[in-house]
């Protein structure tokens, strides 16, 4: 982003010249994901990459340059890849992308929230954008051309403050970091959530051809380094809790759900931990095909049919719904789960052990199969006559769809 940094090699925890096996990855300075201090790259994404490569062993260095130039140099064989970039169709013929390193939260910012309601928003507004940013690349891809492009997020904030632009779109963390440096409150302007954007690493196909299996190993280690989870903030928690009350609470009172849980809790009353583990192993061995009596019995149950209808009627808001009984074993599911036993997971333990009936909301999780970001929200199911805790209902919610819906 800064002209003085362009083309400068920044080593990440290395000394001496690059070795023949060292990866060289391009990137752009964008706090808090990539920053530079004393000639060293730092930041969220850099920390994640350091964690991954410490385990995978190849050393690496980052070179600061604009995204378009990084892609061109990668295509020319002068770089092994680049990070942290949003998914880029232009890069796909020449590189393969990793699972997300980080997750941007894009918001529109304006002096007055009424601007968001205008029919021609944002096309008819004086629009600012951040040079070399993922949001600028996205705007141009959408055919939206900003009136003003500046070098730093601090400049964007000042342009809005002085009325020289009407709105801009940026990652909320970038804005908060810049606002802190300006001693301003990031909440003094109107903000509207737009979307999540995964930030990934791209590795050239030539590098991957010469290092068979590297990307799979990288993604597995990435899972360990970040746990595939991303924190949600207080406002997101509030909206998801409201959504759970509006859309999920009625499920916990459905006759088919209550009757099924009462029945299976009785049937499974004698199950000990050894038996549960053995059943779970059978389920996991056949979960890809679904060809096992244990899986078919749950999948074809009346409760699973009920859950599939709830998912279809929600128009993509719910990507999966499951119900577990007192032992943490599946009682119903809208789609086949990887595990039969959920008793060791947060969605079961925390929901089952809390004294009240408030929703339990987990962090954002990346679903590799759908390339969507999900949040598991769980509610306890109680016997309406005795208030006995019967089980747990959990929905995997498409977080982007949830936050762009008209949920108060």
pLDDT of residue 405: 65
pLDDT in tens, 136-162: 989 999 999 999 999 999 999 999 999
Are residues 378 and 359 in contact, defined by beta-carbon separation less than 8 angstroms? yes
Does the CA dihedral 355-303-369-295 come out positive or negative?
positive
The strands making up 330-333's β-sheet, listed across from edge to edge, are 229-230, 360-367, 372-382, 389-398, 318-324, 330-333
Q: Where are the beta strands (DSSP E) in 216-304?
A: 229-230
Number of domains composing the chain: 3
Instruction: Write out residues in the chain with pLDDT < 50, as ranges.
Output: 1-20, 406-408
Q: What is the CATH number of the domain that holds 284?
A: 3.30.450.20
Same domain, 11 and 146: no
Does residue 183 contact residue 175 with C-beta atoms inside 8 Å? no
- pLDDT, position 228: 63
d(CA 343, CA 350): 10
CB atoms within 10 A of CB 213: 8
Pair 240, 290 in one domain = yes
Stretch (H or E) spanning 372: strand 372-382
Q: Residues 275, 281, 284, 285: what is their CA dihedral angle, to the nearest 10 degrees?
A: -130
Residue 358 CB contacts under 8 Å (≥ 6 apart), including other chains: 241
Is residue 333 classed exposed, middle or buried when 0-12, 13-18 and 19+ CB atoms within 10 A define those classes?
Answer: buried
CA dist 385 and 363 (Å) reads: 33
Are residue 122 and residue 183 in the same domain, yes or no? Answer: yes
Q: What is the CATH number of the domain that holds 219?
A: 3.40.190.10
Tokens 């051809």 found at: 209
The DSSP letter of residue 363 is E
- How far apart (Å, rounded) are the C-alpha atoms in residues 88 and 136? 13
For residues 110 and 22, state if they share a domain.
no
pLDDT digits (tens, 9 = 90+) for 223-282: 888 866 688 888 889 989 999 999 999 999 999 999 999 999 999 999 999 999 999 999
Question: What's residue 333's pLDDT?
Answer: 97
CA distance from start to end of the chain: 37
User: Quick one: 292 and 177 in the same domain?
Assistant: no
Indicate if 82 and 213 belong to the same structural domain: yes
The verdict on 65 and 138 lying in the same domain is no
pLDDT at 11: 44
Co-location of 290 and 343 in the same domain? yes
Q: Are residues 210 and 245 in the same domain?
A: no
Residue that terminates a domain, selected from 197, 218, 251? 197
Buried b / exposed e along 126-142 (16+ C-beta atoms within 10 A): bbbbbbbbbbbbbbeee
203's CB contacts (< 8 A; 6+ apart) are 80, 81, 95, 96, 97, 98, 214, 215, 218
Whether 270 and 149 map to the same domain: the answer is no
Return the structure tokens found at 114: 């009424």
Closest by CA to 129, choosing from 99, 115, 109, is 109
Tokens of 352: 């089952």
Question: Domain residues for 222?
Answer: 3-101+198-226
Q: Are 107 and 172 in contact (CB under 8 A)?
A: yes
What local confidence, expressed as pLDDT, does residue 82 receive? 95
Task: Say whether both 65 and 44 belong to one domain.
Answer: yes
**pTM for the structure as a whole:** 0.74
- Is 132 found in the same domain as 72? no
């Amino acid at each position: 982003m800064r002209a003085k940094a362009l083309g400068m090699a920044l080593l990440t925890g290395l000394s001496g010249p690059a070795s023949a096996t060292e990866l060289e990855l391009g990137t752009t300075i964008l706090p808090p994901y990539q920053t530079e201090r004393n000639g060293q790259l730092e930041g969220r994404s850099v920390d994640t990459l350091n964690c991954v490569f410490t385990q995978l062993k190849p050393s690496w260095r980052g070179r600061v340059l604009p995204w378009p130039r990084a892609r061109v140099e990668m295509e020319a064989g002068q770089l092994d890849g680049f990070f942290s970039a949003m998914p880029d169709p232009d890069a796909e013929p020449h590189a393969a992308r990793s699972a997300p390193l980080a997750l941007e939260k894009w918001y529109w910012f304006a002096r007055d929230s009424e601007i968001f309601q205008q029919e021609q928003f944002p096309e008819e507004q004086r629009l600012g954008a951040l040079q070399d940013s993922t949001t600028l690349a996205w705007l141009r891809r959408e055919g939206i051309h900003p009136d003003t492009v500046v070098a730093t997020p601090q400049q964007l904030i000042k342009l809005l403050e002085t009325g020289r632009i009407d709105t801009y779109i940026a990652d909320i963390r970038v804005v908060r970091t810049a606002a802190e440096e300006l001693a301003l409150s990031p909440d003094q302007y109107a903000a509207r959530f737009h979307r999540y954007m995964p930030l990934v690493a791209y590795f050239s196909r030539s590098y991957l051809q010469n290092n068979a299996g590297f990307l799979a190993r990288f993604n597995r280690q990435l899972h360990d380094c970040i746990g595939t989870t991303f924190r949600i903030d207080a406002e997101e928690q509030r909206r998801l809790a409201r959504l759970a009350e509006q859309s999920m609470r009625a499920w916990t009172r459905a006759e088919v759900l209550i009757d099924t849980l009462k029945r299976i809790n009785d049937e499974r009353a004698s199950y000990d931990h050894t038996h549960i583990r053995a059943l779970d192993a059978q389920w996991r061995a056949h979960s890809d095909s679904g060809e096992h009596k244990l899986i078919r019995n749950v999948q074809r149950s009346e409760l699973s049919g009920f859950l599939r209808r709830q998912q279809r009627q929600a128009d993509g808001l719910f990507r999966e719904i499951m119900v577990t009984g007192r032992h943490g074993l599946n009682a119903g599911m809208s789609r086949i789960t990887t595990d039969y036993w959920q008793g060791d997971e947060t969605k079961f333990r925390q929901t089952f052990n809390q004294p009240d009936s408030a929703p339990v909301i987990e962090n954002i999780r990346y679903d590799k199969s759908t390339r969507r970001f999900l949040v598991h929200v769980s509610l306890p199911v109680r016997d309406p006559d005795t208030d006995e805790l019967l089980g747990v209902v959990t929905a995997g919610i498409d977080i982007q769809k949830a936050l762009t819906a008209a949920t108060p």
